[in-house]
């Protein structure tokens, strides 16, 4: 059997989706847990525990971004049907990856 990249991506995409679900679930548990306790979830480094939670959130969202990039690559490498659908799906993937990437700029320290 010849090696087919499309076949590999077909197996990789569901795995990437499942990993994304786990990463997003971790995010939601921390965010909802902080809200229940009346704490902030984002940018909260008021104690070592909060700093740890912030780091876990940062790690999990990087994993989600990378999995989105993998799925996006699969969508660019495989035929998607008619041209309008292909343009819509691929444009949506680019917008999602760029938008998620821009969110990383929020974590850059500034003078204020």
Q: What is the mean pLDDT of the chain?
A: 86
What does the DSSP 8-state code read for residue 104?
G
3-state DSSP percent of the chain in helix, strand and coil, to 5: 80, 0, 20
For residues 66 and 64, give the distance between their C-alpha atoms in angstroms, rounded to a whole number. Answer: 5
User: pTM to 2 decimals?
Assistant: 0.78
pLDDT tens-digit series, residues 29-73: 999 999 999 998 888 888 899 999 999 999 999 999 999 888 888
Q: Which residues contact 23 (CB under 8 A, 6 or more apart)?
A: 60, 61, 63, 64, 67
**pLDDT cut 90: percent of the chain above it:** 44
Q: Which string of DSSP letters, residue by residue, matches 29-61? A: HHHHHHHHTT---TT--SSHHHHHHHHHHHHHH
pLDDT at 1 > cutoff 80: no
Which residue shows structure tokens 């699969």?
74
Tokens of 68: 């989105």
């Amino acid at each position: 059997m010849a090696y087919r990249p499309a076949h590999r991506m077909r197996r990789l995409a569901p795995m990437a989706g499942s990993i994304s679900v786990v990463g997003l679930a971790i995010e939601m548990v921390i965010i909802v847990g902080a809200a229940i306790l009346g704490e902030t979830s984002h940018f909260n480094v008021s104690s070592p525990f909060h700093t740890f939670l912030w780091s876990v959130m940062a790690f999990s969202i990087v994993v989600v971004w990378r999995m989105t990039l993998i799925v996006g690559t699969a969508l660019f490498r495989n035929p998607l049907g008619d041209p309008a659908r292909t343009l819509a799906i691929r444009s949506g993937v680019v917008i999602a990856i760029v938008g998620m990437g821009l969110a990383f700029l929020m974590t850059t320290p500034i003078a204020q």
